[in-house]
Amino acid sequence: MSHKTSLACAGAFAAAATLAGISPAVCHTVVGNRVFPATLEIDDPGVNDELALPSFAYVANPDNSTQFDYRFEWQKTITADLSFFVGSALTHLVNAMKPDGTFGGVTGWQNVETQLKYVPYQNAEHEFIIAAALSAEWGHTGNASVGAEPFTALTAKGFVGKGFGDVEADWLKPIAVTGEVDYTWSTHPITVGFDPEEGITIDRSPTVLTYGATLQYSLLYMNSFVHEVPEFFRQLIPDIEIAVSTPVSNIGPSIPNMVPGTHETTGTWGPGLYYIGRLGPISFELGAVAAIPINHASGRHVGALAILDLFFDDMFPDSLGKPLFGPRQARGANVY
């Protein structure tokens, strides 16, 4: 693969990855009286025991291919503030360029991702939490035909969440915001190869800064603490989400007419809706978010993300749903 071609593919897949959200890791978090749902464009700021099976992404890639991702993610608490995560995705590309140069359908696994996440501070009374994580997307564990890289990519992540239940105005109390900043770099930023037709080739894996946020209005919170709402609506959390990626170094030269450009910022935003409920012994979250491209390089038209998340802490409180070591996190707010 030539420099230009490989960069084009990398850019397309980077855009697709952006459309699928900053991080595939999802979980829900409880801090005091605040429930932060497992959001789709970015991860929420806490740790918990849960299984996302599946999360789904539909993306219209800028290279005219259409992408469907079916992802599984399992997060397990090691202690009340430390969790381990493993996940991957089965990708199906329609109208994608195959290895033989023809166009058609391609199916394969993305690289396996693992993550350690730690919550160093949370304040239940003020519904405030911060967290940090280090994740690795392991090279050679997925299929190159769907864009899985042969090299490992490491990501340092920072998270923050704040609920406004401690403000005076009642109409502000259901509001919460979350944010995430990621810094991703490859273990092999520059790869030199040889192509019989083009001679020496140089492939670059750019270092990428990714950032995103959600603005949530929790009808769940409103019903419990501000004003009762009708039964169905009390289990909903509508929000607006955005996630954006910018290459920051090891980018290489600009290539004319390449979409997305090597230096281009890509991202999506859109409204989302999360429903949290229980079906017999199964505790779950069902959510969906529209993924509206912020520019042409981010996609041809609106995509969609969706998730079914199972809450193991509620379903299996004495086995899979509790930390391996130590007690659960005491998250109750002291309102007295």
Partner 1 sequence: MQRFMKILLAAALAAPLPAPPAFAHAFLDHAVPGVGTTVSGPVREIRISFTQGIVAAFSHIHVVSAAGAKIPVGKAATADPQTLVVRLGRALGPGSYSVTWQVVSVDTHTTQGTFTFTVS
Interface residues for partner 1 in 36-65 (CB under 8 A)? 58
User: Residue 286 interacts with partner 1 (CB under 8 A)?
Assistant: yes
User: Residue 169 interacts with partner 1 (CB under 8 A)?
Assistant: no
Among candidate residues 50, 62, 48, the one with its CA nearest the CA of residue 8: 62
Burial class for 264, CB neighbours closer than 10 Å (0-12, 13-18, 19+): buried
* DSSP character string of 136-153: EE-TTSS-GGGT--SS-E
User: Residue 79 interacts with partner 1 (CB under 8 A)?
Assistant: no
User: Residue 291 interacts with partner 1 (CB under 8 A)?
Assistant: no
User: Residue 277 interacts with partner 1 (CB under 8 A)?
Assistant: yes
186 with 163: CB under 8 angstroms?
Answer: no
In the bound complex, what is the minimum distance in angstroms from residue 322's beta carbon to partner 1?
9
User: Residue 313 interacts with partner 1 (CB under 8 A)?
Assistant: yes
Q: Which is nearer to partner 1, 271 or 317 (CB)?
A: 317
User: Residue 160 interacts with partner 1 (CB under 8 A)?
Assistant: no
Q: How many CA atoms lie within 13 A of 281 on its CB side?
A: 4
User: With CB under 8 A as the contact rule, which of the stretches 149-157, 186-194, 249-257, 274-282 interacts with partner 1?
Assistant: 274-282
CA–chain centroid gap for 152, Å, is 18
User: With CB under 8 A as the contact rule, which of the stretches 73-81, 87-95, 190-198, 231-239 interacts with partner 1?
Assistant: 231-239
- β-partners of residue 209 are 183, 246
User: Residue 130 interacts with partner 1 (CB under 8 A)?
Assistant: no
Judged by CB under 8 A, the residue of 171, 317, 324, 325 near partner 1 is 317
In our burial notation (b when 16+ CB lie closer than 10 A, e otherwise), range 181-213 reads bbebbbeeeeeeeeeeeeeebebbbbbbbbbbb
Residues that bind partner 1 (rule: CB under 8 A) add up to a total of 43
User: Whole-angstrom Cα distance, residue 31 to residue 124?
Assistant: 5
Before 247, cis peptide (omega within 30)?
no
Q: Which is nearer to partner 1, 170 or 198 (CB)?
A: 170
Which residues in this chain contact partner 1 in the complex, by CB under 8 A? 30, 33, 35, 58, 170, 220, 223-228, 231-232, 234-235, 275-279, 282-286, 288, 304, 306, 308, 311, 313-314, 317, 321, 328, 330-336
